Chain A
Amino acid sequence: MERPKQKQVSQSENETDAAINGHFDGRVKMPGWRAGGAAGDPSTVPSSSVMESWREERTRSLEDNEMSLPSIAAAYTTILRGLGEDPQRQGLLKTPWRAATAMQFFTKGYQEKIIDVLNDAIFDEDHDEMVIVKDIDMFSMCEHHLVPIFGRVHIGYLPNKRVLGLSKLARIVEIYSRRLQVQERLTKQIAVAITEALQPAGVGVVVEATHMCMVMRGVQKMNSKTVTSTMLGVFREDPKTRDEFLTLIRS
Chain B
Amino acid sequence: MTHQFVALTPEQKKDLSSIAQRIVATGKGILAADESVGTMGKRLQKINVENTEEHRRVFRQLLFSTDASVSNCIGGVIFFHETLYQKSDAGVLFPKLIKDKGIVVGIKVDKGTAPLAGTDGETTTQGLDGLAERCAQYKKDGADFAKWRCVLKISDSCPSTLSIMENANVLARYASICQQNGLVPIVEPEILPDGDHDLQRCQYATEKVLAAVYKALNDHHVYLEGTLLKPNMVTAGHACTKKYTPQDIAMATVTALRRTVPASVPGICFLSGGQSEEEASVNLNAINLCPLHKPWKLTFSYGRALQASALSAWGGKPLNIEASQKAFFERAKINGLASKGEYVPSGKTDKHASQSLFTESYVY
Q: Do A and B come from one complex?
A: no
> Which A residues contact B (CB, under 8 angstroms)?
none
> Which B residues contact A (CB, under 8 angstroms)?
none
